Amino acid sequence: EIVMTQSPATLSVSPGERATLSCRASQSVSSNLAWYQQKPGQAPRLLIYGASTRATGIPDRFSGSGSGTEFTLTISSLQSEDFAVYYCQQYNNWPPLTFGGGTKVEIK
Amino acid sequence: QVQLVESGGGLVKPGGSLRLSCAASGFTFSDYYMSWIRQAPGKGLEWVSYISSSGSTIYYADSVKGRLTISRDNAKNSLYLQMNSLRAEDTAVYYCARGIVGATSSYWGQGTLVTVSS
């Protein structure tokens, strides 16, 4: 099973600042990685697939990068609606599909 | 528009059973694979099960293998999760989802809460 590790667990950022979230895979997942955003009481929403491709309707302030075992989600200028929990998920070697533990982006 | 609506959650005693349903609309259900993902209270996401569009291919997480059974009825546009021998650690919100294996779009239901407690 591929273990996905996200860091940090919590990120405190001021509105308008840049946020950088990390995701590490226990073995290579190539570019078969997705990022999701989840707000309290809501289902997750797909942000990025293929490590770097934004899903339909996702603002360009969200960008993904990386391949192999190291990935990054960058939010260039945080808006109030971006404060949420973010999960990475690999789909390269499955079953099982595996998610990271999440990074909570909170207001500083 | 694509809609996924889960139902069937509730309170059940350890060792009990429950059947979750997911009603799909807004797309050709029989064309798509589907999955169940769960989230324990205050915790992260855990993939539970996958079923191919025809139902011929099925996978489970090790944590539920032998106790949970995924199925679908393409004529009724519905996905199911039969849950037997439930344990306290199965307590979670259960989401049905379309498109979580590298899809360009992903749709999730609002989730249904299953609580296993005596």
pLDDT, tens only, A81-95: 999 999 999 999 999
Distance, CA of B53 to CA of B27 (rounded, Å): 13
Mean pLDDT lowest for which of A58-67, B7-16, B67-76, B103-112?
B103-112
Q: Other C-beta atoms within 10 Å of A84: how many?
A: 18
A-chain CB neighbours of B59 within 8 Å are 94-96
- Which of B101, B105, B109 comes nearest A43 by C-beta? B109
Number of residues assigned to chain A: 108
Residue with tokens 């025809």: B54
A90 at interface of B, judged by CB pairs closer than 8 A? no
Q: Which pair of structure tokens corresponds to residue B4?
A: 């996924």
What pLDDT, on a 0 to 100 scale, did the predictor assign at position A57?
Answer: 94
What pLDDT, on a 0 to 100 scale, did the predictor assign at position B54?
Answer: 96
For B109, the closest chain A residue by CA position comes to: A43
- Alpha carbon of A107: minimum distance to chain B alpha carbons (Å): 19
What are the two backbone dihedrals, phi and then psi, of residue A82, each rounded to the nearest 5 degrees? -90, -10
For residue B102, is pLDDT > 90?
no
B112 at interface of A, judged by CB pairs closer than 8 A? no
What pLDDT, on a 0 to 100 scale, did the predictor assign at position B33?
Answer: 96
What pLDDT, on a 0 to 100 scale, did the predictor assign at position B105?
Answer: 83
B-chain CB neighbours of A52 within 8 Å are none
A7 at interface of B, judged by CB pairs closer than 8 A? no
Which alpha helices (H) appear in A42-101, and where do they start and end?
Answer: none
A-chain CB neighbours of B48 within 8 Å are none
% residues pLDDT > 90 (chain A):
98
- Alpha carbon of B96: minimum distance to chain A alpha carbons (Å): 10
- Which of B47, B97, B99 comes nearest A96 by C-beta? B47
**Confidence tier at B104 by pLDDT (50, 70, 90):** confident
User: What string of DSSP letters covers B32-47?
Assistant: S-EEEEEE-TTS-EEE
For A50, the closest chain B residue by CA position comes to: B102
